[in-house]
Amino acid sequence: MRSVYLDNASTTRLDTRVLDAMMPFLTECFGNPSSLHSYGTRSKEAMDAMRSLLAGFINAQAGEIIFTSGGTEANNLALKGTAFANRHRGNHIIVSAIEHDCILKTCAWLATQGFRITYLPVGEDGIVDTSSLINELKTPGTILVSVMHVNNETGTIQPIEEIGKICAEHHVPFHTDACQSFGKIPIDVRASNISMMSLNAHKIYGPKGVGCLYIKEGTQLSPLFHGGGQEQGLRSTTENLAGIAGFAKAAEICHNEMQSETERLSAIRKMLLDNVQEKFDGFYLNGDENRGIPNIINFAISGLEGETMRLLLHLDERGIAVSAGSACSNNDTTKSASHVLSAMGRGQFEARGAVRVSPGRFTTTEDILYFIQEFTASIHKLNPIFS
């Protein structure tokens, strides 16, 4: 029995090249970057170089990168930091209805603090309605718009260049969660008029527990943490130097291999979709087939949506790891269906019945053929609820 990992949208395996880049900062260059002695200055110089490297991949300045513990912290800093720093200007925040839970739950909390939250609708293709955004920006006291770059469940790419342009015209800061897109498709924060952008390492074959927030110079934020004043006073705590080294190396590899990896994963995606679609008449794709990244494939089979959990368990018994959606949502016992698929117009039954397959750097053609074989066998073992 093969072991096939097809859940790279939830997290990725650490690339050995990344591990090699991290090791010196665990054993040799271990000084605190805030210390004034040679151990500290050596660490700070290395950290500054890695900050500059990461900034270069998104066309930012080094001083616009603030290191965090990951995407969730970066998103919290962007939303809460903007909200409280700009409360004198207004209390209206606009986000899309398909954001990651860490955005939606942050917004729910901000609503308890007196902020007004508007949730932008999406179409059946999962794309944000920009005409709705323009209309909502007419609301007095709008202080932030946040729309993710790539959806973590469907892989749909949002038109952030258009959204950024609209926000700039209305003089409202624009934040985007780019954790699923960074390292997979090009991002230019200047060209897209992005004010803040959240990134993390563990989606790009780097270590868990490290990420960053790009903050355009001049953007006003209040810190979440208070302490020693690290990261320009916006994120007080000793930086995770080894993690940052891994983050920078992982980003460098993705940047250098982006084109070839996109072509390889696109071929894998096509092979999988062609085979499954041919075998099952009830097959349907969730998301826009032509506006998605190749490493996230979200689909279902009509009549079998109620068997998704059994299907995933069958596949796991055969050594195959896939998911039914966001891994973070698995910890929320109050959720019964995907909020992303519900926002796209799927019924409650359909919104519970998706399969998300996310191949990655270490996925082979043989892995996909094995998945297709075992997926087909598992489906034949299940009894459709509808004939």
**Residue-level length of the chain:** 387
As beta bridge partners, residue 9 has none
Backbone φ and ψ for 185, nearest 5 degrees, come out as: -135, 150
| Cα–Cα distance, 152 to 149 (Å, whole number) | 9
Extract the tokens encoding 189: 């924060």
Provide the 10 A C-beta neighbour count for residue 46: 19
Q: Which amino acid is at 123?
A: G
As beta bridge partners, residue 93 has 117, 144
Question: Is 328 designated active site?
Answer: yes
225 contacts 237 by C-beta, under 8 angstroms: yes
| Cα–Cα distance, 234 to 257 (Å, whole number) | 33
**Which bin fits 233, alpha (ψ -120 to 50), beta or left (φ > 0)?**
left
For tokens 């995907």, what's the residue?
338
| Cα–Cα distance, 304 to 286 (Å, whole number) | 15
| Cα–Cα distance, 206 to 6 (Å, whole number) | 17
Extract the tokens encoding 105: 């739950």
E strand map for the chain:
4-5, 65-68, 92-96, 116-120, 142-146, 174-177, 196-200, 211-215, 283-285, 297-301, 320-321, 355-357
164 contacts 174 by C-beta, under 8 angstroms: yes
Q: Of the residues 29, 107, 167, 328, which is catalytic?
A: 328
Element housing 196 (H / E): strand 196-200
Backbone φ and ψ for 170, nearest 5 degrees, come out as: -100, 5
Backbone φ and ψ for 212, nearest 5 degrees, come out as: -160, 165
Extract the tokens encoding 222: 């209040």
Which residues are annotated as catalytic? Answer: 328
